[in-house]
Amino acid sequence: MKKENYRNYQFTSDTTSRRKPDNAAAFKHTSDVFVPPHLAHDPLDDLYGNRREAERRQQLQEEETRRRKRRIKREKIKKKRKQKRKGRLTAVGIVLFVLLLWVFLRFAAVPFGTLVIQGNETLTTDDIYRAAGVPGYVNVVQLSPDELKNRLEKDLRISSAVVERQFPATIQVTLTERKAAAIVMTMYGFAYVDKDGVVIELEPQIQGVSVPIMTGKKVDTLLLGDTIADPALRAGLEYLQNLPPDVLKHMAEINVGNPDNIIAYTTDSLPVHLGKGDKPVERAAITDELLREVDSNHLLVQYIDTTPGAPAVKSK
């Protein structure tokens, strides 16, 4: 084995070192060079090879990791863009659907939504629909709250109207009906007037309304919607409006024949002197107080004087 190994080595001899040249300047010192043999299974080659293979694998893994990260990042960006695109398309679709639905409901003769009416006591729902100009079906998209309010308040039977649109598809109407506060005698019958003196009804005869009647004066040519302008009648109306409800229901008549001495009569025919009808708030309070006193003491009274500062109960 040793001999075979020795054969694998090659030695070169430096012949120039054994003889001296004639020219000393041309002399160059050389030495023997050892050239190692190549072993088929050199352990150093295996060590370096494994290290290079490990480095190469590590580089490949790092490169693969970087590629995977880039791919994941691209996929995330693509997914976000797709989601944004999908969201925009969805939003556009919803807007178009709502727009088309609104156009359909705006012009098609189809019912949609609810019309809620509150505050009506004598008026029926059909009466209110006719006054407001609502067709046979209710479509809240085609109805305008402002137009409903204007139309309703033009009706003499309605004092005021509050119209509100409520989400999602409701319109609420709150009414205050005009109520007869007194009956005024006319040349051709009787006029029912509200607390503001507006004529809300004309009848040839009194029909089933338990409100005080104004006597002593007949008004000529009253029409629906007219407003009473006579000072004595206006004074009588203001006095009635300031009476408490439990006292008002016992008032049957107000005689304005003498504007300087207006007299109210209770359902028991008890006269209540109102003078010129001035200071209606004070006179109404005095009337309430004196009537309570008469009722609690069971007095026999000729009349009651409501002059502010000097009220009196005239006994029989």
Q: What is the DSSP string of 245-277?
A: HHHHTTEEEEE-SSTTS-EEEETT--EEE-TTS
Residue 241 scores a pLDDT above 90: yes
pLDDT-based confidence at residue 32 (cuts at 50, 70, 90): low
Classify each residue of 172-194 as buried b or exposed e, where b means 16 or more C-beta atoms within 10 Å of its C-beta. ebebebbebbbbbbbeeebbbbb
How much is the mean pLDDT over the chain?
Answer: 85
Q: Residues 41-92: pLDDT tens digits?
A: 656 556 666 777 788 888 888 888 888 888 898 888 888 888 888 888 899 9
Q: Is 171 helix (H, G, I), strand (E, B) or coil?
A: strand
Please give the distance of CA 166 from its chain centroid, rounded to a whole number. Answer: 6
**What length is written for the chain?**
316
Nearest CA to 169 among 108, 111, 91?
111
Residue 25 scores a pLDDT above 70: no
Residue 6 scores a pLDDT above 60: no
Q: What is the pTM (predicted TM-score) of this model?
A: 0.62
Beta bridge partners of 313: 304
pLDDT number for residue 153? 93
The class of domain 114-177 in CATH terms is alpha beta
* Token pair in block for residue 242: 């300031």
Residue 10 CB contacts under 8 Å (≥ 6 apart), including other chains: 35
Residue 234 scores a pLDDT above 90: yes
Q: Residues 182-228: pLDDT tens digits?
A: 999 999 899 999 999 999 999 999 887 689 999 999 998 889 999 99
DSSP structure class, residue 123: S
pLDDT number for residue 57? 86
pLDDT number for residue 84? 87
Q: What is the mean pLDDT of residues 160-186?
A: 94
Residue 16 scores a pLDDT above 50: no
Q: Is 99 helix (H, G, I), strand (E, B) or coil?
A: helix
Q: What is the CATH number of domain 182-315?
A: 3.40.50
Residue 128 CB contacts under 8 Å (≥ 6 apart), including other chains: 117, 120, 152, 173, 175
Please give the distance of CA 37 from its chain centroid, rounded to a whole number. Answer: 97
How do the domains of the chain map onto residue ranges?
43-100, 114-177, 182-315
Q: Is 101 helix (H, G, I), strand (E, B) or coil?
A: helix
pLDDT-based confidence at residue 269 (cuts at 50, 70, 90): very high
